[in-house]
A and B are shown apart, each in its own frame.
Chain A
Amino acid sequence: MTEVDSPDGLPVVQPTRERVDDFLAITDRAGEETVGEIPPSYTPITVETTAVNAVMAGCAPEHFPVVLAALEASLQEQFNLYGVLATTHPCWPSVVVNGPIAEKVGINGADNAYGQGTRANATIGRALTLVYMNAGGAVQGQGDKATHGGPHKFGLCVAENEEASPWDPLHVERGFDPAESTVTVFGAESPHNVNDHVADTPQGILTTAADTMAKVGTNLAYLSARGEPHLVLSPEHAATIARADWTKTDVKRFLYDHARIPRHRHRDHGMYDPEDGGLPRHARGLDDDQLVPIAASPEKFVVTVTGGTGRHSLFHPSFGDTESVTVAVDDVT
């Protein structure tokens, strides 16, 4: 074997033995250890083969523990990777990193974090994509049946901007110590912008956000039994909200109450089934004028703070039938 092909269409770094060994040296995991079976092919993949793909993606060795953790998180049952990779819907595992490892290995959570320009952001997500293609068979037209796909499917990884957040970061909210590093995977679409340069209250900003989020046509509108709407507040929007002493719980409650769609808007659209009212299941029996929330409870909303200067936030529509998973990342020396 003298060179490897590029499954995602971009040039790859050739995975030489020397480069792969550099990646394996940074983890205590044995190269021959199996990470898991990657759907939709359910082919088992080892730590070493994962490292081969991370090298190809352009990762630096210190990024590898994040790749491994994100891969393992995505394999947990509640994530529904089998559905996420194969679906016609344009979703893909997207990664949010919390804790000290983000700064240590250079994962951007500030200006243009979701865009181009940072090696760690660009390559960690790409490494996952290469694993899903090379091991899972999530190749367009075969194991990946996306109608359009999306640019995030080349890989999407950001850090939460914990310094700029007025609240506990995502991993602390989920029971981890602030000094621990974690990775969270979401089965998400590319983020959608929420522009509000005018509102100066929590209600104002979050009404704009709720209006952006609650649309017939998103998977969340129908698959809200498990769905987790993910709002990525910019530091400026978060500061305005926190200035009024609103907690993250208050934010989620407001979104649950206001990110709603009138029942009649569902009729004969989306995944509506004329036989029984179809989805979302919790809307059956509601009157036409009643408002249907886009999640089953306030707790299902996910709120993170990422980004730099500016009064734009982001909304990540979700695949719907997937739950995000947070796991610890081994520290790097």
Chain B
Amino acid sequence: MDLGTIWFILWGVLWAVYFILDGFDLGLGTLLPFLAKTEDEKRTFYNAMGPFWDGNEVWLITAGGVTFAAFPTTYAVMFSGLYSALMLLLFSLIIRGVCFEFRSKVESPGWKKLWDTCLFIGSFAPALLLGVAFANIFKGIPIDQDHIFQGTLFTLLNPYGLAGGILFVLLFAHHGALWLAIKSEGSLRERAFAMAAKLWPIMAGWIVLFLVYSMFATNLFSNYLRWPLLLAILLIPVGGLVLTKVYAAKARAWAAWAASAAVIGGTALFGVMGIFPALLPSSLSPAFSMTIENSSSSPLTLSIMLGVALVFVPVVIAYQIWNFRTFRHPVTKDDLDYEEAY
């Protein structure tokens, strides 16, 4: 396999890992107004994400950084083309990021309400925007022969893009509900499972709908028709979908969450493999697409970056797993009384 292809796969994997990890944070924030009734329950939400959200978000920065390093021209076209959508995403992530640190610092209901609202917007909007962005990438966006984006923010808000946005919101909300089941106790835990159960059929239905829609709206399936073996990737999200239902019914929160992670990761990989070898297909003509070939870095940069990734990514994964293990226990009253709790 050539360096460009290796980096294409790594690129897809990084986005998938980001969606899996930040997915549950964004989902929890989206569910906050619907599931958390009391102040203690709200704080449980914040502290269920507390030790993880920042490390999760770095996967986004890394995914962005790797796009820049390995496929600079795609990075340039993608980020300038999706300018307004990206700015909205960034501002949403900014207001989410400060919620954690700010909310507990002033004892006033109005102040807390403000940051709860920011957490909701800062979680729901990124889920929606990322979904809209990726659905548009799957579909192809109007870039011309000079790699200039011929459209506006509203070009992206087409029915298929919005369907992708809703898909991400559902996937993340379901994923977040299961994370809440892991990190909470008593009635909140029961409500978390109930929410996951309620979201499951909607999510499953929407995935099927989205796949069918994709057959008509995109060329995602052409690679799969050419190499039918690749269709095995679909086993990941489909299997995950079934298992998450089974495990959630048995109240096995970790297993159900892992299965849900497979749904998200598998869906992302399915899309990414569908657009290969383009990172950013053009809807105007396949000749204008941003591909591995016309946008990747020099072989020297790609191989140095591969060395860096092979050394550091396993280390990152190791200490992040350790972090998840250290703080895997449910948030208890004791944790909320802890002086450093949010």
A pairs with B: no
Please list the residues of chain A having a beta carbon within 8 angstroms of any beta carbon in chain B. Answer: none
Please list the residues of chain B having a beta carbon within 8 angstroms of any beta carbon in chain A. Answer: none
